[in-house]
């Protein structure tokens, strides 16, 4: 068996110890005589595990008591619709920052429910920067301000929490959740799909402040209603128990790494190493403004784009996978989430240096 270094944007690499634990427990879990996949979500074992997972998340992120933590389905994409459905509360508009492909998708979905007022838009800069907050125009009548903390495709990440001028702040943290500490009390809603930093696909974490739930738009289906999920402890229907289980194991692994504070340090070291390699060469380029560069998704170009396919082929032979850029922007991209070890970055950097030496 050869496990490669997997730089995929998501689903993405999971710590080997997590996979091994899941493997060892696959047939029989927690003394149940059956796999975790085979038992009722309402069994006392699973309910206890679910509660423990919520507590782990609460303690890792220091989530205040006046927030609900929901474990939902439908991916972050479903949150693009659930956020306006649950938060509009009779208002006609919502404010959005447009800093890349994922904010654009959130905006398009919100337009199904309300007027969208754009607080800032970096499309004219090809999403290579995050415009200064002083230049933003935030609609004071909007129900909330939404932004994407890390743009997975464009490799742009906020290095601060925006000032929402009193509006509830909503953040899509799908691709940088749990990669650094965050002051949850500054937010109305934080949401993230699990398949990058929290395990496998199929489960989405939503952290929502109590006062923002219970005021959905008319005819909102139960499955899209935060309040209904909160009342039923995220077991309104059969939840994705396997994904929930893997998420729990990943949180346990994060604790063993020293928590989010330590992961933030590791992530900075990894990202710095890769950006330095790119910046010190004339062969590779990353065009994102330095203060807006993502620590999680690092897109890069070769000066000679014709060499991209050769790069990918040789990288594959060197056990480096998932480096193809997103189809919307092309080029190359290394996604280096929590579970990518420094050894993987070192291996990639060595490969890049050698590729430059032989093809530069």
Catalytic residues: 102, 172, 196
Cβ proximity to ligand PMP: between 152 and 179 the closer is 152
> Smallest distance, Å, CB 176 to ligand PMP?
8
Cβ proximity to ligand PMP: between 13 and 277 the closer is 13
Summarize as ranges the residues that interact with ligand PMP (CB under 6 A). 10, 75-77, 102, 148, 152, 172, 174-175, 193
Q: Which residues are CB-neighbours of 230 under 8 A, at least 6 positions away?
A: 68, 70, 208, 213
> Smallest distance, Å, CB 326 to ligand PMP?
9
Check if the beta carbon of residue 213 is closer than 8 Å to that of residue 23. Answer: no
Cβ proximity to ligand PMP: between 1 and 328 the closer is 328
Cβ proximity to ligand PMP: between 243 and 266 the closer is 243
Ranges of H-type helices in 111-150: none
> Smallest distance, Å, CB 204 to ligand PMP?
6
**Residue from 10, 4, 35 nearest 242 by CA:** 35
Check if the beta carbon of residue 261 is closer than 8 Å to that of residue 237. Answer: no
* CA–centroid distance for 118 within its chain: 22
The DSSP 8-state label assigned to residue 205 in this structure reads E
Q: Burial of 94 by CB count in 10 Å (0-12 exposed, 13-18 middle, 19+ buried)? A: buried
* Distance set, CA 83 to CA 63, 143, 169, 266, 276 (Å): 19, 10, 11, 32, 38
> Smallest distance, Å, CB 84 to ligand PMP?
15
Using Cβ positions, the residue closest to ligand PMP within the complex turns out to be 75
């Amino acid at each position: 068996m050869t496990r490669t270094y997997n730089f995929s944007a998501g689903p993405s690499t999971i710590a080997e110890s997590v996979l091994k634990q899941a493997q060892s427990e696959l047939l029989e879990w927690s003394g149940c005589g059956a796999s975790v996949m085979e038992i009722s979500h309402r069994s006392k074992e699973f309910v206890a595990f679910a509660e423990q997972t919520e507590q782990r998340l609460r303690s890792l992120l220091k989530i205040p008591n006046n927030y609900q933590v929901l474990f939902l389905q439908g991916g972050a994409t479903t949150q693009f619709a659930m956020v306006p459905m649950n938060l509009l509360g009779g208002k006609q508009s919502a404010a959005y920052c447009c800093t890349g492909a994922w904010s654009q998708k959130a905006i398009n979905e919100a337009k199904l429910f309300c007027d969208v007022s754009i607080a800032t838009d970096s499309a004219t800069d090809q999403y290579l920067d995050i415009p200064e907050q002083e230049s933003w125009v935030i609609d004071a009548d909007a129900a909330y301000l939404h932004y994407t903390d890390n743009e997975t495709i464009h490799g742009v990440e906020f290095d601060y929490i925006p000032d929402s001028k009193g509006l509830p702040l909503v953040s899509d943290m799908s691709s940088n959740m749990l990669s650094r500490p965050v002051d949850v009390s500054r937010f109305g809603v934080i949401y993230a799909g699990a398949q990058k930093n929290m395990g496998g696909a199929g489960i989405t974490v939503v952290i929502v402040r109590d006062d923002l739930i219970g005021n959905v738009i008319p005819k909102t289906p139960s499955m899209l209603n935060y309040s209904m999920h909160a009342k039923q402890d995220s077991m309104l229907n059969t939840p994705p128990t396997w994904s929930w289980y893997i998420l729990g194991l990943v949180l346990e692994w994060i604790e063993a790494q020293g928590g989010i504070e330590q992961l933030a340090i590791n992530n900075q070291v990894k990202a710095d190493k890769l950006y330095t390699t790119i910046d010190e060469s004339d062969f590779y380029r990353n065009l994102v403004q330095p203060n807006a560069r993502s620590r999680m998704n690092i897109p890069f170009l070769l000066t000679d784009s014709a060499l991209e396919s050769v790069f990918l082929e040789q990288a594959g032979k060197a056990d480096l996978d998932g480096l193809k850029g997103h189809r919307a922007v092309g080029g190359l991209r290394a996604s280096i989430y929590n579970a990518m070890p420094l050894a993987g970055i070192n291996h990639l950097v060595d490969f890049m240096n050698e590729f430059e030496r032989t093809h530069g």
